[in-house]
Copies of this chain bind each other. A is one copy, B any other.
Amino acid sequence: MVTVRDVARKSGFSVGSVSIVLNNAPLARYMSDEAKRRIKEAAHKLGYKPNQFARSLRGIRSHSVGVMVFDVTDPFCTLIIRGIENTLYEQSYLSIFADAHNERSRFERYLEMMLERRVEGLIVVANWLVVDINLLADLERHRIPTVIVARQIQRQSVSSVLVDNENGGRMAIQHLYDLGHRQIAVLRGPKAVEDSGLRWSGIRRFAKSTNLKLDPRLTVDLPDSPDANYSFEAAQHLTADLLQRKLPFTALLAYDDVTAIGAMRALTNAGIRVPEQCSIIGFDDVAAASFTSPALTTVRQPMQAMGATAVQLVSEAIRAGSEKRDFSPVTRLLAPELVVRHSTAIVRR
């Protein structure tokens, strides 16, 4: 292992000078260019890499950010992770990664481990499960910049990044409306999930503004569940039930893509052709959405951008902290985007 001492010996300067030059410390302006050059050259030749532990021990930056995901298995979050990774990379941060597995105890233990490693910031990807209050209190107790992705939080110290759910809900229903659909079934998400409520209010607002009637008997909720993939089966059953009630509908608006795909399966099984006899629209634009037959029309969440934005927020907050400026947490709502594929069509007359 090459240390400052080695560089000092090789370059003929003292450890102090080496440290000053290599860190571009204020005192470096008193050093001659020649000295700087020689020191840098020696460092490079020896392949000197400052020991991160020694730096961190001195309370300098740890150059790492904690990334806590609630469920890596959820297809929704892989692109978010890429966005996070990508942007952290650009800013030379390394990420300490943890999959909380939707378990509170894991979350807490990981949080502690991350704090021990002195992460400079924390990004929580809160897919699916409800984040309970105590857990947020945990996040608030420590004083490091925290951003939560895909969930809005009303707290003093935590920023949020998420898609504009209300607007997204509106885009979905409007797309169906524009295609001429008037009898629309809505498969809402679990009641405990806030996203679902927001999307629903976007839907309702649009309906009200256009005098579209949404039959309450055609509006059903997914059950609460800790498993994101379970919603596929649940959606299948709910849709099958819906069909049995013999209430006509020409389109189905689903809470998310997995739900939509489940619904599509139920319709196909019942001999109903998509989109000729029934249109389907999802939400998220998960990878699997383009793999279905027909390919799923959906409202895309800009997941990679969400990840990138999260990193920008923490990194701003970190900078603010180190410069002793204030940084009040913000909520960033990113615009969703309608992706028209082949699961929606003009209504048959």
Q: A residues touching B (Cβ–Cβ < 8 Å)?
A: 49, 51-54, 56-57, 62, 64, 67, 72-73, 75, 78-79, 81-82, 85-86, 89, 94-99, 101, 106, 109-110, 112-114, 116-118, 229, 232, 258, 261-262, 264-265, 268-269, 287-288, 290-293
Contact = CB atoms under 8 A, between A and B. Distances in A.
A296 B79 CA distance: 24
Given A73-B78, A94-B113, A287 B52 contact: no
15 contacts: A51-B57, A53-B62, A57-B57, A72-B78, A72-B81, A72-B82, A73-B82, A75-B288, A82-B99, A94-B113, A94-B114, A96-B96, A97-B97, A261-B291, A288-B291
Contact of A292 (B49, B98, B110, B292): B292
A52 B114 CA distance: 11
Nearest to A66: B94
A80 to B, nearest CB: 10
A116 B57 contact: no
Contacts of A54: 53, 57
A43 to B, nearest CB: 14
A130 to B, nearest CB: 21
Contacts of A113: 94
Contacts of A49: 112, 116
Contact of A96 (B97, B109, B265, B291): B97
Contacts of A291: 232, 258, 261-262, 265, 288, 291-292
Contacts of A96: 64, 94-97
Q: Please give me the 5 A-B residue pairs with the lowest Cβ-Cβ distance, nearest first.
A: A97-B97, A288-B288, A85-B99, A53-B56, A53-B57
Given A291-B232, A293-B268, A85 B72 contact: yes
Nearest to A268: B293
B288 A265 contact: no
Given A53-B57, A291-B261, A78 B79 contact: no
A98 B85 contact: yes
Nearest to A113: B94
Nearest to A84: B99
B81 A99 contact: yes
Nearest to A293: B268
A337 to B, nearest CB: 18
A49 B112 CA distance: 10
Contacts of A81: 72, 99
A73 B265 CA distance: 25
A111 B79 CA distance: 22
A114 B290 CA distance: 36
Contacts of A262: 291
Contacts of A98: 85, 89, 94-95
Given A51-B116, A265-B291, 17 more contacts: A51-B57, A52-B116, A52-B118, A53-B57, A72-B85, A73-B79, A73-B287, A81-B99, A82-B99, A89-B98, A89-B109, A89-B110, A94-B117, A96-B96, A229-B287, A264-B293, A291-B291
Contact of A89 (B72, B94, B106): B106
